[in-house]
């Protein structure tokens, strides 16, 4: 972090109702969207804070975003046994759940929750099952969130039709001059377009219910303690959605044997053991809550979300890398290629995936 960034972050921290004296402040985490800092306090027993500069290109309406987060975090706190950690928003000194800096930027602050670092990918069956239980528990916690409906923080976030439309516009405009290098990816996306409208069509027909979903169920959005999962974090995209988005995105991000930006595509494949254990944990918690129609399309959801996130990376590559953080030229294109290779492996194994979920749903309660 350069000196100017450090000064900006320290100045932003002073806007919040934090207690104690700040010892240090440093970049933290591996998120693609916001600028995140760990704030350590001089008192050794103080947990410290997480400070974030909100990416307003992605989330242009920060007041509505933070209204959602405060509602959701408060609802979870009311439903959580005392002593267990819950994401806590630290208000600004003026009482709002965010602060603005002198350049018009938006900041927010959370109390830091101590946790262990299990890495960005699931590496054990036990962790996969625990992640399934934790994300399923979130659906249960949100099942009785009082009205009104949450705000849609990103329009069409998991609407594949929106991403197709953007894809077409970006190909037509070709603002970054990159269309010529992605002929194979264009064919890949178009060949699967009709099949990937399934969840959208089921929802429009009323055959699956709209729920409050997390919508960003990456493994690193769970904090783990020594004895298992502690809580779900990153509530930016909690809004109305279909349960398939959460299940599919978790598999997409956790059950890839390679990194999200793996340069050697031969290493990219579905970890079936992770898929099975996550599904076992997820359905074990949600037995009786999900409808038969929802369960019937869970395995497909892994393919949908892998396709959709790959398309989003490809769109950002076409757009000149304006959404996701990148470390090098072609980074988003490599991410897209990894996702498309993972999808190909899922397609080869789709019958196995669907049979496993069907057997889980038909089996005795655990």
Span 306-357, pLDDT tens digits: 999 999 999 999 999 998 889 999 999 999 999 999 999 999 999 999 999 9
pLDDT of 242 > 60? The answer is yes
> What is the location of CATH 3.30.200.20 in the chain?
3-111
Q: What is the pLDDT of residue 5?
A: 61
Tell me what pLDDT residue 349 has.
Answer: 97
What pLDDT score does 10 carry?
83
349 bridge partner residues = none
Mean pLDDT for 211-221 is 93
Q: Judging by beta carbons within 10 Å of its beta carbon (0-12, 13-18, 19+), is residue 3 exposed, middle or buried?
A: exposed
The pTM of the whole model exceeds 0.95: no
Q: Is the pLDDT of residue 174 over 60?
A: yes
The pLDDT assigned to 328 comes to: 94
**Alpha-carbon gap, residue 78 to 86, rounded angstroms:** 10
pLDDT digits (tens, 9 = 90+) for 99-123: 999 888 999 999 999 887 655 455 5
Q: Are 196 and 304 in contact (CB under 8 A)?
A: yes
pLDDT score of 206 more than 80:
yes
Which helix (H) or strand (E) segment holds residue 49: the answer is strand 49-53
* 129 or 32, which is more confident: 129
pLDDT band at 363 (very low <50, low <70, confident <90, very high): confident
Q: Dihedral through CA 267, CA 273, CA 278, CA 281, nearest 10?
A: -170
Close Cβ partners of 204 (under 8 Å, ≥ 6 residues apart): none
Please check the confidence at residue 73 and state whether its pLDDT lies above 50: yes
Which string of b and e fits 91-109 if b means at least 16 CB within 10 Å? Answer: bbeeeebbbeeeeebbbbb
Q: How confident is the model at residue 7 (pLDDT cuts 50, 70, 90)?
A: low
Other C-beta atoms lying within 10 Å of the C-beta of residue 277? 23
CATH 3.90.1200.10 residue spans of the chain: 125-362
User: 125-362: what fold?
Assistant: Aminoglycoside 3'-phosphotransferase; Chain: A, domain 2 (3.90.1200)
276 pLDDT more than 80: yes
Class of domain 3-111: alpha beta
Question: Cβ distance 107 to 37 under 8 Å?
Answer: no
Look at residues 124, 78, 73, 129 and name the one whose alpha carbon lies nearest to residue 285: 129
Taking a C-beta distance cutoff of 8 angstroms, is the pair 50, 69 a contact? no
Check if the beta carbon of residue 158 is closer than 8 Å to that of residue 245.
yes
Q: How confident is the model at residue 81 (pLDDT cuts 50, 70, 90)?
A: confident
- Residues near 117 by beta carbon (within 8 Å), at least 6 away in sequence: none
pLDDT (0 to 100) of residue 4: 55
């Amino acid at each position: 972090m350069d000196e100017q960034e450090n000064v900006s972050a320290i100045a932003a921290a002073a806007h919040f109702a934090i207690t104690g004296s700040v010892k240090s402040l440093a970049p933290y985490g591996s998120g693609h969207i916001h600028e995140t800092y760990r704030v350590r306090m001089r008192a050794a027993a103080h947990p410290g804070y997480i400070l974030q500069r909100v990416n307003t290109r992605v989330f242009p309406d920060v007041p509505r975003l933070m209204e959602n987060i405060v509602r959701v975090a408060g609802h979870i706190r009311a439903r959580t046994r005392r002593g267990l950690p819950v994401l806590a928003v630290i208000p600004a000194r003026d009482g709002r759940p965010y602060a603005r800096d002198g350049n018009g930027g938006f900041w927010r602050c959370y109390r830091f929750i101590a946790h262990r670092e299990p890495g960005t990918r699931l590496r054990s069956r036990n962790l996969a099952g625990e992640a399934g239980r934790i994300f399923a528990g979130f659906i249960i916690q949100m099942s009785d969130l009082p009205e009104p409906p949450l705000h849609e923080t990103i329009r069409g976030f998991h609407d594949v039709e929106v991403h197709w439309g953007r894809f077409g516009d970006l190909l037509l405009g070709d603002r970054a001059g990159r269309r010529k290098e992605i002929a194979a990816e264009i064919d890949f996306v178009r060949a699967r377009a009709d099949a990937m409208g399934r969840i959208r069509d089921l929802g429009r027909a009323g055959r699956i219910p709209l729920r409050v979903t997390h919508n960003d169920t990456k493994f690193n959005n769970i904090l783990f303690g020594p004895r298992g999962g502690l809580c779900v974090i990153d509530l930016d995209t909690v809004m109305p959605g279909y349960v398939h988005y959460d299940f599919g995105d978790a598999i997409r991000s956790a059950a890839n044997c390679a990194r999200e930006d793996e340069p050697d595509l031969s290493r990219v494949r579905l970890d079936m053991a992770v898929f099975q254990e996550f599904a076992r944990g997820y359905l074990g918690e949600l037995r009786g809550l999900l409808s038969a129609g929802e369960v019937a399309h869970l395995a497909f959801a892994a393919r949908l979300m892998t396709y959709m996130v790959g398309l989003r990376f490809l769109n950002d590559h076409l757009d000149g890398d304006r959404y996701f953080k990148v470390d090098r030229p072609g980074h988003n294109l490599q991410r897209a290629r990894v996702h498309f290779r993972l999808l190909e492996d899922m397609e080869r194994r789709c019958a196995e995936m669907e049979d496993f979920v069907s057997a889980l749903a038909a089996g005795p309660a655990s």
